[in-house]
Amino acid sequence: MNVVPDQHRLEVGKKSIIHDPRDGDARKITLTRARGSYVWDDAGRKYLDCTSQAWSNSLGANDPRVIEAAIAQLREITHARPNFNTHALLELTARLRDITPGDLNRIGYCLHGSLAVEMALKLAFKNRPDRHNVIVMQDAYHGRSITTMAASWPHPNNPFLAISPRFTRVPHPDAYRPRMGMDVEQESALCLSLIEDTVTKGVDGGVAAIMVEPIMGNGGHIVHPASFHKGVREICDRHGIILIWDEIQSGFGRTGAMFAADLYSVVPDVMTFGKGIGGGFPLAGIFASDRLEGFDAGEDALTFGQFPVSMAAAIATVDAIIADKLCDNARRLGDYATQRLIEMSERRKLIGDVRGPGLFVSLELVRDKITKEPSPRAASEVYARSVEKAVLFGEARYAGLGNLIKVKPPLDCTHEDMAMALDVLDEVLGSIERDGAY
């Protein structure tokens, strides 16, 4: 094996990557190493990673407990087709059943969030076979498979639209940008009544499922009031609709609770999970209510549906989240971050809004606090200038506004690291304001 990187070979490799080169463009960093809240690039530069790699390294990267568990599993068995059980699968299932909300005691696995959403939809259609519609929120994000792209915010140029299933996007409340003259509770009530109208009058045929992200992630970090979640649950109950909560981004401690369902005291019928559960290894799936019928043989069997190495890593991750009280840490550190950002917003004219909860932290950058005109340019500048100062923040590429900065390090990030990240953010916002680069 060639151990010394040959620069020419690496350049050729970069050009051969099929994904759109604009996705990350010239700033794309080649990562070579990761530990805890830090990553290193191929020039040996060290960065504080406030993205946890798509908010997925719930524990800091390469946590020794996770790595040891994965290596031990690698030595035993790495692959089993879905007709077989493995100890890792049974053990993880038992662990998860102890922490799932309400009666969500049945668990299905896959390797990617998008496929978990597809699994949730399939289960809803299986349980409501005479209904073909799914209601989703207008700014929702549910993934990048053909079906989940159709379920997400309108992609500026979705080339797969011709083969879309029947999704209807409905409005949802937005506390920072409420509809004319309303407060968020009034807007919540209006949206609920529009959703119920859509169920009864807005689609041909019945509605099998309503799918909601408890806190909207890629669609702008929009936090919904509890009244909205309660109201959607009630609509589902009144009309026999399956309520799916997509907790791929919010689950496993990110919000300061194990699941957002615990925060809002709402139990959906199906909940998707992914990202943080694997401690950096790919794993996703669904929790489903005992009341729902499961899949028959062959209805949802994927060759790599259970990757024992990811499952062993997930057992170690879930154990560590509980043992290290990382939900508490996410809450404490998140409170500290949002408080400091609110204080910063009093001095920094670019910060329009600060959002939580827990370590689901973000800020909206605006050109004007009164008009709330979004500034995607400021977000782009924050990202680029922070990279120069060795901190990686998340950026929203969302088609709607594109002006969000996300501060979402691993759940076990230290106070000192968070303080340093916020100092850098303050400094770069100051320099962008001075340069008028927004």
Ligand X SMILES: Cc1ncc(COP(=O)(O)O)c(C=O)c1O
Report the interface residues with ligand X, using CB under 6 A.
112-114, 117, 141-143, 213, 217-218, 246, 248-249, 274, 284
Amino acid, single-letter form, for residue 69: A
CB of 112 to ligand X, least distance (A): 4
Q: Are strands 106-110 and 167-170 parallel, antiparallel or unpaired?
A: unpaired
8 A C-beta contact, residue 41 and residue 47: yes
Q: Rounded to an integer, what distance in angstroms lies between the CA atom of residue 177 and that of residue 366?
A: 12
Q: Is 303 exposed, middle or buried (0-12, 13-18, 19+ CB in 10 A)?
A: exposed
CB of 275 to ligand X, least distance (A): 7
Phi first, then psi: what are they for 188, rounded to 5°? Answer: -60, -45
Q: Between residues 112 and 229, which has the closer beta carbon with respect to ligand X? A: 112
Kindly tell me which of 286 and 341 has the beta carbon lying closer to ligand X.
286
Residue 372 CB, nearest distance to ligand X (Å)?
24
Residue number with the smallest Cβ distance to ligand X: 113
Question: In angstroms, what is the minimal distance from the CB of 407 to ligand X?
Answer: 16
d(CA 163, CA 324): 46
Report in angstroms how near the CB of residue 214 gets to ligand X at its nearest: 9
Residue closer to ligand X, measured from CB, 246 or 395: 246
Structure tokens at 294: 């499961």
Which residue, 246 or 300, is less far from ligand X as judged by CB?
Answer: 246
Closer by beta carbon to ligand X, 126 or else 397: 397
Which is closer to ligand X, CB of 119 or CB of 208? Answer: 119
**Closest CB to ligand X among 37 and 114?**
114
Q: Using the minimum distance from each CB to ligand X, give the nearer residue, 309 or 366.
A: 309
CB 344 within 8 Å of CB 429: yes
Q: Which is nearer to ligand X, 106 or 275 (CB)?
A: 275
Distance of CA 5 to the CA centre of its chain: 34
Give the shortest CB-219-to-ligand X separation in angstroms: 9
